Amino acid sequence: MLDYATFRKIVHIPTKDKARQAMQLVQSAFVGFFDLVHIVDNEERNLAEFSTAEGVLIRDEESRDKFKMSSSLVDELIQPRVIPELFKSTPTVADMMDSLILSTF
């Protein structure tokens, strides 16, 4: 999957401030959620459009201010690879599984 330019571009850690802000929006509003999300704030809309240009989100053509994850593959790629690299304090899936296992005992 990483052989495709679109996926490779998403995984390479965004270093620009705008890319980091866009990924923060994606993390807070879109990751794990596949329905359309209505974005009202102009700055957030610009970040969502940036993420759309990068292939992370797609825009609803009928209502130009609604966006959603471009695919479940992209969602699954972002969660374990991009978000933990950008936001070091974010727990990984392995951390959450360890916590869940320990809490059941």
Which CATH number goes with the domain that contains 32? Answer: 1.10.10
Between 50 and 94, the higher pLDDT residue: 50
Stated as kind and residue range, the H or E segment containing 37 is: strand 37-38
Between 53 and 36, the higher pLDDT residue: 36
Average pLDDT over residues 53-78: 90
pTM of the model: 0.69
Asked whether residue 38 carries a pLDDT value surpassing 90, the answer given is yes
- 74 and 64 Cβ atoms separated by less than 8 Å: no
Average pLDDT over residues 35-53: 93
Query: Residue 95: pLDDT band by 50, 70, 90 thresholds?
Result: low
Asked whether residue 77 carries a pLDDT value surpassing 60, the answer given is yes
User: Which range of residues forms the domain containing residue 24?
Assistant: 5-104
How many domains would you assign to the chain? Answer: 1
Positive or negative, the CA dihedral 10, 33, 62, 43 is negative
Average pLDDT over residues 85-103: 59
85: its two tokens:
């690299």
